Amino acid sequence: MLKNYSFEKTAVQTFDEHTTLAMKTENMQVFYGSNHAMHDASLAFPKNQITALIGASGSGKSTYLRSLNRMNDTIATVTGKIWYHGVDINQPNVNIYEIRRHIGMVFQRPNPFAKSIRENIIYALRATGVKNKKVLDERVEQSLQGAALWDEVKDSLDKSALALSGGQQQRLCIARSLAMSPDVLLLDEPCSALDPISTVKVEETLLELQKKYTIIIVTHNMQQAARISSQCAFFHLGHVMEYSPTTTMFSTPQIQVTQDYVSGSFG
Give dist(CA 7, CA 2) in Å, integer. 14
Q: How far is the CB of 157 from another protein (least distance, A)?
A: 14
Taking the complex as a whole, the smallest distance from the CB of residue 179 to another protein amounts, in Å, to 8
Residue ranges of E strands in the chain? 11-12, 21-32, 35-41, 44-46, 50-55, 77-84, 87-88, 103-106, 184-188, 214-218, 231-236, 239-245
Task: List the interface residues with another protein, window 131-160 (CB under 8 A).
Answer: 135, 138, 159-160
- State the Cα–Cα distance between residues 240 and 96, nearest whole angstrom: 25
Taking the CA atoms of residue 217, residue 218, residue 220 and residue 224 in that order, the dihedral angle to the nearest 10 degrees is 0
How many whole angstroms separate alpha carbon 266 and alpha carbon 1?
8
Using CB under 8 A as the binding rule, whether residue 38 contacts another protein is answered as no
C-alpha span between 4 and 231 (Å, rounded): 26
Report yes or no: 267 and 260 within 8 Å, Cβ to Cβ.
Answer: no
Least Cβ distance, residue 127 to another protein (angstroms): 5
The stretch near another protein (CB under 8 A) out of 6-14, 102-110, 242-250, 259-267 is: 102-110
- 3-state DSSP of 148-192: CCHHHHCCCCCCEHHHCCHHHHHHHHHHHHHCCCCCEEEEECCCC
Taking the complex as a whole, the smallest distance from the CB of residue 44 to another protein amounts, in Å, to 17
Counting contacts by CB under 8 A, is residue 230 touching another protein? Answer: no
Least spacing, CB of residue 200 vs another protein, in Å: 24
Query: What mask of x and - would describe binding to another protein in positions 162 to 201, judged by CB under 8 A?
Result: xx---------x--xx--xx--------------------
Is 84 a binding residue for another protein by CB under 8 A? The answer is yes
Q: Site size for another protein, by CB under 8 A?
A: 41
Residue 71 contacts another protein per CB under 8 A: yes
CB nearer another protein, residue 125 or residue 228 = 125
**Shortest separation between residue 57's beta carbon and another protein, angstroms:** 18
Which residues sit at the interface with another protein, rule CB under 8 A? 69, 71, 84-87, 89, 93-95, 97-102, 104-105, 107, 109, 111-115, 123-124, 127-129, 135, 138, 159-160, 162-163, 173, 176-177, 180-181
